[in-house]
């Protein structure tokens, strides 16, 4: 067997275990989400070793998506770092075995502080599980490690459970792209998410009158290089014609004197100039279109620009 074939087996083995774990999630997960959501303080994630590393990732993901969170090494907690924890906090204790002394030993002082305790463990009968208010199981039947010793599938399961918690809390808070950007102002991702339609739109709006013939429509659309044109009746925008509309009109009518009024689409998608580019992309993806008419406000009918997928790509 080649190493590439063995790697595929490892992927398969872990996926099977993760699917079983996903199928076992029950109402206890809902209670954990509610407990963290209604927490008056912050989420404190504790662990050691490899699960501690995953715990650090969980805390970081939570913090970057609107949930105040910190990671505290359980060993350091017993030597002064408990001072970072308050009675209003919810503490998520992470341990696959649930029997590690350094994790179990921290339960009593946390109880003294009055924190609500959640166990994320692979053993629901462990001292950790029995000492906490709520328990989330990350049990897997076996590790991908052939010796069954190195944490492999179990750490993947821990990370995945943390991702599920993070995403559910994001959705419960209706956490949006602009919120995410505010937590990442210094990174490229944050800068991209903060970009708005007005920064990338084309202010020169391709436009024709309702009486413009097909012959002149072809010229206007080709000349503006946007694959579309808005259609006006006087000063009022009444429709849109795209490249696709042109092709269908030629096939249907075969007459270059047919007017814009006969071939335009009366309804078209629009977006305000202050909207985020991520929102624009979502609309384009939903309706399988490549351009949006831009307005000053949601109530306005005046088209002040055109945003195309090519503008967004070039802008980024």
CATH number of 21's domain? 3.40.50.10490
- Residue span of the structural domain in which 248 resides: 197-315
CB-based contact 204:184 (threshold 8 Å): no
Same-domain pairing of 165 and 207 = no
Total domain count for the chain?
A: 2
Q: What are 239's strand-pairing partners?
A: 231
Q: Are residues 152 and 297 in the same domain?
A: no
**Separation CA 5–CA 255 (nearest Å):** 61
Instruction: State how far the alpha carbon of 203 is from the alpha carbons of 16, 146, 226, 264, in Å.
Output: 53, 62, 12, 21
Model confidence at 106, pLDDT cuts 50, 70, 90, reads very high
**Domain presence at residue 149:** yes
| The predicted structure's pLDDT at residue 281 | 82
Q: What is the pLDDT of residues 151-197, one digit of tens each?
A: 999 999 999 999 999 999 998 988 766 566 555 555 555 555 567 89
Are 242 and 308 members of one domain?
yes
Q: Are residues 150 and 224 in the same domain?
A: no
Q: pTM to 2 decimals?
A: 0.64
- Mean of pLDDT values over 222-227: 81
User: Is 140 within the bounds of a domain?
Assistant: yes
pLDDT tens, position by position, 254-287: 778 899 999 999 888 999 999 988 888 888 888 8
181 lies in some domain: no
Q: Is residue 189 part of a domain?
A: no
**C-beta separation of 70 from 44 below 8 A:** yes
Q: What is the pLDDT of residue 220?
A: 83
pLDDT at 74: 93
- The yes-or-no verdict on residue 315 having pLDDT over 90 is no
Q: Cα separation of 302 and 209, whole Å? A: 15
> In terms of domains, do 257 and 133 share one?
no
Do 107 and 233 fall into the same domain? no
CA 145 to the chain's CA centroid? 31
107-159 per-position pLDDT tens digit: 999 999 999 999 999 999 999 999 999 999 999 999 998 888 789 999 999 99
């Amino acid at each position: 067997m080649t190493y590439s074939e063995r790697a595929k087996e490892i992927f398969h083995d872990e996926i099977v275990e993760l699917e079983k774990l996903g199928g076992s999630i029950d109402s206890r997960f809902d209670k954990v989400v509610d407990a963290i959501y209604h927490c008056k303080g912050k989420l404190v994630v504790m662990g050691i070793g490899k699960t501690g590393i995953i715990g650090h990732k969980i805390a970081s993901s939570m913090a970057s998506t609107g949930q105040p969170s910190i990671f505290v090494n359980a060993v350091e907690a017993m030597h002064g770092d408990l001072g970072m924890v308050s009675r209003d906090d919810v503490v998520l204790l992470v341990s696959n075995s649930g029997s590690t002394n350094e994790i179990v030993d921290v339960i009593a002082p946390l109880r003294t502080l009055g924190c609500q305790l959640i166990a994320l463990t692979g053993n629901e009968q462990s001292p950790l599980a029995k000492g906490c208010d709520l328990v989330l199981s990350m049990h897997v039947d076996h590790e991908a490690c052939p010796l069954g010793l190195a944490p492999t599938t179990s750490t993947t399961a821990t990370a995945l459970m943390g991702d599920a918690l993070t995403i559910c809390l994001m959705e419960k808070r209706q956490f949006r792209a602009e919120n995410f950007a505010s937590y990442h102002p210094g990174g490229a991702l944050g800068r991209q998410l903060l970009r708005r339609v007005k920064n990338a739109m084309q202010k020169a709006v391709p436009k024709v009158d309702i009486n413009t013939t097909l012959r002149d429509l072809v010229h206007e659309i080709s000349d503006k290089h946007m694959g579309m044109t808005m259609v006006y009746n006087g000063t009022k925008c009444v429709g849109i014609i795209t490249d696709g509309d042109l092709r269908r009109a030629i096939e249907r009518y075969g007459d270059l004197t047919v007017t814009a009024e006969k071939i335009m689409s009366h309804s078209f998608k629009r977006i305000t100039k202050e909207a985020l580019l991520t929102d624009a992309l979502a609309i384009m993806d939903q309706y399988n279109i490549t351009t949006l008419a831009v307005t000053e406000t949601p109530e306005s009918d005046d088209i002040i620009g055109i945003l195309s997928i090519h503008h967004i790509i070039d802008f980024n």
